[in-house]
Amino acid sequence: MQQSRHASSHVSGTGSSGSAAASRPWSAQVRRGVDLQSLYALVYLVVANLIAGVLNLPSVAAALGIARQPGLGDLLGDLVMLVFLFGTRGQDLLGRGSNPVQYKAQTNPGPAVLIGAILLIMLASSIETGFTWVVNQGSQALGLVYHSTTSQIAAGQHGFLSPLDTAILVPVVEEFLLRGVVMGRLKPYGRTFAIITSSFIFACLHGDITQSLFTFLLGLVLGVIAMEYSILWSMALHIFNNLVLADAMMWLTQTVPARTGMMINQGMTLLGLVGGLVVLWLIRGQLADRLRANRSRPGTYKGWISLGLAVLVVLAVVNAAQRFSLA
């Protein structure tokens, strides 16, 4: 990582608006930036739910043939959200303006970096598996049933459009939103700060206590890759996770006998746990150096005391609570 840069046109600005921004305390400038990106993510979430509601209307679903083709509604909804992103943040996503998305990198990640990233993603999945077990055990002790997003996705994977949407289109849209727009606009406050904050917003958007933990950890890995190399590489890793580590493994374990499927899942969990920890051990020195090199200015993390971020957290907690029902 290069040394973090704090100056940016949308932070310092020009003219009267820029002077007003510059006169604010640094933490207030950061808070405003976090507010803007949190509220943008919130607007995205509201629009996505409205589009889903419209597509699920009987008349609309019948006219578009959604009822006859499983997964078509989700696919159309995500295509609309892709248009929404380019319509509202086109300058960023087209690589123009003051917050251009990085498509080209001076260097590409080698095989060792990509394999290490995949093992870290598998480690995040292993942590999610363990946390899910804890949540299930706690729920049973309280007389509750926990309905995870992962199990709902597995039940809804029919035909070829559902995997096409969840494995290809969803990663592209999410990378444009989180590692493109949100992280890009938070980058002037510090590279590490931008990665962590965009990952936290990514987690809040999922609204599931176990999957939010995984998406936060996934966001950290993808954020580093997008920051160091290019958003195209973070997209590729996100697609690999959804297509291979999630959908393909789900299909494989459902195809073989139950005992074999359980052994495969346990083997992948163990591989992710051991492999990911080995990667962290090997890069510990490099990671510490980069964290020091990209340390944010004092007061930066006070920007997390943000109304927009608080609204996202409250919505995430409400959505997470709805995953539980009485046994």
pLDDT top residue among 64 and 2: 64
Two structure tokens written together for 281: 């051990």
pLDDT tens, position by position, 20-40: 566 789 999 999 999 999 999
Query: Which residues on neighbouring strands pair with residue 145, listed in sequence order?
Result: 325
Whether residue 232 is contained in a domain is answered as yes
Q: How confident is the model at residue 71 (pLDDT cuts 50, 70, 90)?
A: confident
pLDDT tens, position by position, 122-131: 999 999 999 9
d(CA 123, CA 128) in angstroms, rounded, equals 9
Q: How confident is the model at residue 156 (pLDDT cuts 50, 70, 90)?
A: low
The predicted pLDDT at position 326 comes to 87
d(CA 250, CA 131) in angstroms, rounded, equals 19
Whole-number percent of the chain with pLDDT over 70 = 91
In terms of Cβ atoms closer than 10 Å to its own Cβ (0-12, 13-18, 19+), residue 89 is: buried
What does the mean pLDDT of the chain come to? 89
Q: How confident is the model at residue 151 (pLDDT cuts 50, 70, 90)?
A: low
Q: How confident is the model at residue 70 (pLDDT cuts 50, 70, 90)?
A: confident
Whether residue 255 is contained in a domain is answered as yes
Q: How confident is the model at residue 153 (pLDDT cuts 50, 70, 90)?
A: low
In terms of Cβ atoms closer than 10 Å to its own Cβ (0-12, 13-18, 19+), residue 69 is: middle
The predicted pLDDT at position 59 comes to 87
Calculate mean pLDDT across residues 99-122: 93
> Can you give the residue range of the structural domain that contains 157?
17-326
Calculate mean pLDDT across residues 223-239: 96
Backbone angles phi, psi at 300, to 5 degrees: -60, -45
In 3-state terms the chain splits into helix, strand, coil percentages (rounded to 5) of 80, 0, 20
Whether residue 1 is contained in a domain is answered as no
Residue 228 in contact with residue 46, Cβ under 8 Å?
A: no
Of the listed ranges 148-152, 187-191, 239-243, 304-308, the one predicted with least confidence: 148-152
Backbone angles phi, psi at 265, to 5 degrees: -60, -40
Query: Which helix (H) or strand (E) element contains residue 325?
Result: strand 324-326
Q: How confident is the model at residue 7 (pLDDT cuts 50, 70, 90)?
A: very low
pLDDT top residue among 160 and 141: 141
Q: How confident is the model at residue 63 (pLDDT cuts 50, 70, 90)?
A: confident
* pTM score over 0.85: yes
Whether residue 223 is contained in a domain is answered as yes
Is the predicted pLDDT of residue 174 greater than 70, yes or no? yes
Whether residue 8 is contained in a domain is answered as no
Of the listed ranges 155-159, 162-166, 175-179, the one predicted with least confidence: 155-159
Whether residue 5 is contained in a domain is answered as no
Is the predicted pLDDT of residue 14 greater than 80, yes or no? no
Whether residue 227 is contained in a domain is answered as yes
Backbone dihedral region for residue 300 (phi beyond 0: left; psi -120 to 50: alpha; all else: beta): alpha
The predicted pLDDT at position 191 comes to 95
Q: How confident is the model at residue 106 (pLDDT cuts 50, 70, 90)?
A: confident
d(CA 17, CA 143) in angstroms, rounded, equals 55
d(CA 277, CA 48) in angstroms, rounded, equals 36
The predicted pLDDT at position 22 comes to 62
Of the listed ranges 58-67, 121-130, 198-207, 265-274, the one predicted with least confidence: 58-67
Calculate mean pLDDT across residues 246-275: 94
Is the predicted pLDDT of residue 184 greater than 80, yes or no? yes
Whether residue 12 is contained in a domain is answered as no
Is the predicted pLDDT of residue 159 greater than 90, yes or no? no
Is the predicted pLDDT of residue 4 greater than 60, yes or no? no
Is the predicted pLDDT of residue 85 greater than 60, yes or no? yes
d(CA 127, CA 205) in angstroms, rounded, equals 19
d(CA 53, CA 277) in angstroms, rounded, equals 42
β-pair type (324-326, 144-146): antiparallel
Structural domains counted in the chain: 1
The predicted pLDDT at position 154 comes to 61
Residue 238 in contact with residue 174, Cβ under 8 Å?
A: yes
